[in-house]
């Protein structure tokens, strides 16, 4: 009668045992190398990721934009080929009236507080939808304060410009004006650069440098308009001016609280 016995493996030859030992050592070596290089690669990729992360954080905390300053991007002219078309003046018979070009922003800078940045559209009024900025263009000038004004020159062929100050009547309902001092006069300076000014960072220290003197507005008075001599201006470009007091006894505060026109603007006249 058969009885159950424990299974015993058949003894192997010396060659089989030798091959098993050989292949076992090979696999162990390969496994060790793989683990070693995998750990090295893991540390390497971690270091690369950490470097990229630190670079991104450093860029985000940098004051300058990541790639470029958007305010210095080139402003392309839309009037392509107009110079060659209008070089033949024989057929130019149409006359256009002057246009009033309103400034994009007026912002004061303070000589006595050179790092102060004035808020843009600081005054607000309450509506049913919340606080809304008041549409105002304010020219405020004293011996310590000057106003930076920037214009975007408009239509082609209207490239003769003149700076104009229109002071409202003393009792005008939609305007405000305050002028006092002895021999009040305002100097108008053209500033360097043809790109948009970042008014969120504008101060006495950061304002563009003065390029040349445009003219002087003398003895401004209520209910009066003064227009400076014309100068060439290229359509599609930005012009920036600084308005300063020409005398020590000088205070000018002129504002219009409604669109579309303010009191300080450019008159563009036909140039072709």
Task: Judge whether residue 166 has pLDDT over 70.
Answer: yes
Specify the DSSP element, H or E, that contains 161. strand 160-167
What is residue 167's predicted lDDT score, i.e. its pLDDT? 85
What is residue 216's predicted lDDT score, i.e. its pLDDT? 93
More confident residue, 232 or 75: 232
Window from 11-20, 73-82, 106-115, 132-141 with minimum mean pLDDT: 11-20
Note the Cα 25 to chain centre separation in Å: 68
| Cβ count within 10 A of residue 153 | 19
More confident residue, 262 or 192: 192
What is residue 70's predicted lDDT score, i.e. its pLDDT? 63
H helical segments located in the chain: 14-61, 82-85
More confident residue, 270 or 136: 270
More confident residue, 168 or 153: 153
Task: Judge whether residue 170 has pLDDT over 70.
Answer: yes
- Between CA 153 and CA 4 the distance in angstroms is 108
H helical segments located in 62-172: 82-85
| Mean pLDDT score, 117-121 | 81
Task: Write down how long the chain is.
Answer: 272
- Between CA 75 and CA 61 the distance in angstroms is 28
pTM: 0.68
What is residue 63's predicted lDDT score, i.e. its pLDDT? 52
Residues 6+ apart with CB under 8 A from 259: 135
DSSP-derived pairing of the beta strands 160-167 and 264-269: antiparallel
| Mean pLDDT score, 150-169 | 89
Q: Indicate the burial class of 4 (C-beta count within 10 angstroms; 0-12, 13-18, 19 or more).
A: exposed
CB distance 243 to 147 below 8 Å: yes
How confident is the model over 11-33, as pLDDT tens digits?
Answer: 555 555 555 555 556 567 767 76
How confident is the model over 46-84, as pLDDT tens digits?
Answer: 888 888 888 887 776 665 555 556 666 666 667 777 777
What is residue 96's predicted lDDT score, i.e. its pLDDT? 84
What is residue 149's predicted lDDT score, i.e. its pLDDT? 94
How high does pLDDT run on average in the chain?
Answer: 79
- Please tell me the class of the 98-269 domain: mainly beta
């Amino acid at each position: 009668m058969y009885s159950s016995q424990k299974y015993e493996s058949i003894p192997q030859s010396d060659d089989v045992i030798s091959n098993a030992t050989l292949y076992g050592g090979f696999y162990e070596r390969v496994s060790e190398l793989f683990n070693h290089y995998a750990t090295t690669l893991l540390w390497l990729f971690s270091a690369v990721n950490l470097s990229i992360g630190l670079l991104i954080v450093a860029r985000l905390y940098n004051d300058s934009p990541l790639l470029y300053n958007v305010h210095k991007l080139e402003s392309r002219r839309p009037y392509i080929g107009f110079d060659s078309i209008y070089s033949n003046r024989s057929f130019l018979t149409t006359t256009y009236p002057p246009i009033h070009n309103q400034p994009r922003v007026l912002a004061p800078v303070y000589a006595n507080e050179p790092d102060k940045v004035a808020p843009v559209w600081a005054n607000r009024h309450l509506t049913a939808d919340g606080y809304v900025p008041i549409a105002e263009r304010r020219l405020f000038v004293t011996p310590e304060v000057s106003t930076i004004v920037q214009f975007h020159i408009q239509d082609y062929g209207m490239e003769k410009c003149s700076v104009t100050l229109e002071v409202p009547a003393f009792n005008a309902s939609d305007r405000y004006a305050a002028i006092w001092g002895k021999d009040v006069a305002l100097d108008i300076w053209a500033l360097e650069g043809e790109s948009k000014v970042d008014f969120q960072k504008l101060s006495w220290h950061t304002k563009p440098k003065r390029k040349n003197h445009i003219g002087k507005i003398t003895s401004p008075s209520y209910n009066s308009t003064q227009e400076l001599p014309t100068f060439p201006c290229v359509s599609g470009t930005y012009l920036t001016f600084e308005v300063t007091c020409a005398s020590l006894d000088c205070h000018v505060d002129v504002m219009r609280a409604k669109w579309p026109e303010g009191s300080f603007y450019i008159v563009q006249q036909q140039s072709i």
